[in-house]
Amino acid sequence: MACAAANGSLRLFGQDTTASSRPNIIIFIADQRTYGLSKGTGYPLDTSPTLDRLQSEGVGFERNYCTAPLCVPSRVSMLTGRWTNAHHVRNNLMAGEAYFEKDIYQVAHEQGYKTALCGKNHTYLKKENVDVWREYTHTGGPHEPGSKNAEFDQYLTDAHFNVVDKPTPFPLETQLPYRIVSDAMTFIDGAGSQPFLVQVSVPEPHNPEQVPTPYWNMFPPESIPGRCAGPEKLPEVGFRMQWEYRMQQDASPQTERLWRRYLSNYMGMLRLIDDQVKRLVEHLEAKDLMKNTVVVFTSDHGDALMNFGLGHKGLDLRETVTHTPQIWFGGGIKHSAEVQRVFTSMADLMPTMCEVMGAEIPHGVQGRSLWPLLTGQSYPAEEFRSIYSSVGLGGLYYTNADNVPYSTGEDPHGASFDELNKVTLSGNQKMVRMGDWKLVYDMMGYGELFNLHSDPCELNNLFNKPEHAKEQAALMAELLMWVIRSEDSLPTGPQNKKYTTKWSKQHNWYEPYREAGPPPVAFQP
């Protein structure tokens, strides 16, 4: 099975398919960065001028979603191109359970690429899986002799993942994004004529919410736009969200009081990261590498942004935690305002990079290659009409009757609280986005239906309203299609020769194989 173009020919930049001619790839990953927080996407604060410019020159998908709104499951999806129910990793403690045939690093090595991880890992990857390993966590990374890095890393540790109410007393050069980009540039300079794939993975803007001068008060607390809802709206939502707020207040009572400072620091960190993207791009341009390098900027999930008084992520599928950026720019990529409106997933990164490298898409990959969309080729609109995400570990929801103590959320690694715990991740919810609509449905038959055009804050649940029965039925059918499609197909593939799965040879798309026209849009649950 080849990563073939629609006409069946191998899709590369040119005719030369030797390793030295193949484009370089950079995967720039932010942690907990919500989509839409820049001037170019309609936000009033200018947090990301470089990314806005790169999106205007490349392609920034406006409807991109994570496969799950927590770190490890979503990052495994990026590397393997598989949804969480297929790769088996559904919480942050399950990285070793990842199930797949090949990941993007294995494909890159087979294609003659030099590989590196610079920054946060938080997956099953080990040092021996890449050529260069420079790993960082949320509390630090490698230390150079004579630097202040060790002192700064201790400062991060002492922040206990909370919001910090004063400027960080260390220079920009000690910040993790700066150090990680420096490591990436060093790796790039040492790659020589060999094509490279490097993951530049910054742990920010994930908490602790801290930022140094000049980014401190670059967006003062009083300039922060109002939030969708404060804690006064908690009685209108489910128990798990109420419980998380009480847990957060029990462990870190200053969080709600400092909600504007939380977001001020968050926005300042977005600008700091944006400046590091600029620094990396300028380095590529100075080395004359940009024209033969494909870059994607994305995030593993978003942040609750202090809506309902909550920071972080984890317990639901709201837009702020599932809707993430995916911006492509560099060699061969053509800007298209129209293509930016399709629905995409982080699972699409892996098969897209396969096509960039001229490699076969491994068996079991469920994401779809976006390469034709990025290079101005034709594509079937129906293939990208919707997208799917999920969260939860299954079983029943914990309720007030269970009297679960807030200490359940205490983090053994030193954070004041861990929002990803047995209460917040109880149950199982799945989501589909299509058009202006969003449906969330769970194992109890409870549903949420929102029109995001008229209700972007998801405050007016229209589920089972007779006047929206048509939209609800269409979304239920779409969600069922996604759930069925994302079941694991590997057990009937190379592991069992009696069964041979038929794999798509056209960018991992389904639409070219549909014989009966568009799928039905009505479904009676």
User: Residue 395 has what pLDDT?
Assistant: 95
Instruction: Determine the pLDDT at residue 453.
Output: 98
Residue 6 pLDDT exceeds 80: no
Closest Cα to residue 420, out of 74, 85, 146, 98?
A: 74
Residue range 54-74: mean pLDDT, rounded: 97
* Angstrom distance (rounded) from CA 37 to CA 43: 5
Distance, in Å, from the CA atom of 433 to the CA atom of 446, rounded to the nearest integer, reads 17
Look at 17-26, 237-246, 314-323 and tell me which has the smallest mean pLDDT: 17-26
Q: What is the mean pLDDT of residues 278-306?
A: 97
Residue 38: what pLDDT? 98
Amino acid 16: pLDDT: 47
Mean pLDDT of the chain: 92
Q: What is the pLDDT of residues 10-36, one digit of tens each?
A: 344 433 455 667 999 999 999 999 999
DSSP 355-374: HHHT-PPPTT--S---HHHH
Amino acid of residue 497: K
Looking at residues 169-187, what average pLDDT do you find? 98
Q: Which two tokens stand for residue 504?
A: 């798509």
Per-residue pLDDT at 278: 98
**Given this model, what pLDDT does residue 20 score?**
62
pLDDT-derived band at 519, boundaries 50, 70, 90: low
Percent of the chain with pLDDT over 70: 93
Mean pLDDT in residue range 454-462: 96
Q: How confident is the model at residue 412 (pLDDT cuts 50, 70, 90)?
A: low
User: Which range has the top average pLDDT, 2-6, 89-93, 271-275?
Assistant: 271-275
CA dihedral in degrees (33, 39, 45, 48; nearest 10)?
50
Place of tokens 């041979």: 500
* pLDDT value at residue 523: 30
Q: Which of 3-12, 49-58, 418-427, 501-510 has the highest mean pLDDT?
A: 49-58
Q: How confident is the model at residue 521 (pLDDT cuts 50, 70, 90)?
A: very low
Summarised one tens digit per residue, pLDDT across range 109-165 is: 999 999 999 999 999 999 999 999 999 999 999 988 878 999 999 999 999 889 999
